[in-house]
Structure 1
Amino acid sequence: MEAIILETINFMNEIILRYKNEINKIRTGRANPIILEGINVKCYGGVDSLQNIAQVKVAEAHQLLIKPYDRSLIKDITDAVTKADLKLQIKTEAENVRLIFPQLTEEVRKSLVKDLKKKTEEYKIKIRNCRRDAVHNLKKIKLPEDQEKHGETTIQELTDSKIKELIVIENNKQADLMKI
């Protein structure tokens, strides 16, 4: 029973971590290099991640500076960022690419909060599915009824705490999105 509970804790922690990574990519109007994760650039006859071919840093509160290790990749980087459709202003300079984050309008902020709520609900469902699987695995090992009930209660308490954790993360991100 302890093994099932430990496995469930690990799965739920992994779900929370994926959720955090996912919502970090939602832009808040301030420059954040995480938004560029997952962007791949066609270069040298292949494809490589942006982080492998360039240094990314926050130049100002609303600007990211991408400085490629090889200046000949500036056009390829610009193309990849444009293709990613991040809704950022892209400024190509001699030795780097500057990304400017526009101020978010109230309408855009509300739309982002709506998307955040959908994403949170998706991850709540993943946690509940994890609970369902754990309870199913408990029933498979045919424990005495009182131990099975105790295991189910423990898993439900764990599920409740992880969902509360998701809600706290969501509320913090929502406050960040609505901040002007």
Structure 2
Amino acid sequence: MAAKILELDTSERKGKEPNPFGKPASAFVGKPAKDFEVVNLKGEKLSLAEYRGQVVLLDFWATWCAPCRAEMPHLKKTYAKYREQDFEIIGISRDMGKPPLEAYIAQEEITWPQYWDADNRICNLYNVRSFPSTFLIDGEGVVRKTNLRGHRLETAVAALVKENAAKKAAEKAETDSQ
């Protein structure tokens, strides 16, 4: 009898309940990145819109996340290689407080902008439910790739940086010819 009730209950609900986790990261690919405006750890205003024209990696992470910490050397290498080519990383941390985050950033000499998402606002905006999560955004502000790491991330950044530079060169050539 209980099995029959559960069976009926499940079959009647199937597909009707909203997904509590929201859209997967891949659902953002090909769509404009959601803009946000926050104050970074240095007390400076940080807006995603300010980075239009650059390739941007949104890196959702935390110091307590072992995979995030393992990925940090790859991020530092990619950032060092491409930061002078219109590439930026914006770190969005879900640490339990600012002190451990600030200590880790100082210890690891992380130089890209960081935001402590204390109220989960930006994580919710991008439906981030696990760490690390990344969103690679092109110069037009469109999410092109999600959740890449290591060599795959560096390869995607290299391709987008090259594409972005070609678009800028074409725009400049068109402007110069007018």
How high is the TM-score relative to the length of structure 2?
A: 0.30
State the structure with more CA Rg.
Answer: 1
For CA contacts below 8 A with separation 6 or more, give which structure has more relative contact order.
2
More helix by share: 1
Q: Structure 1 length as normaliser, TM-score?
A: 0.30
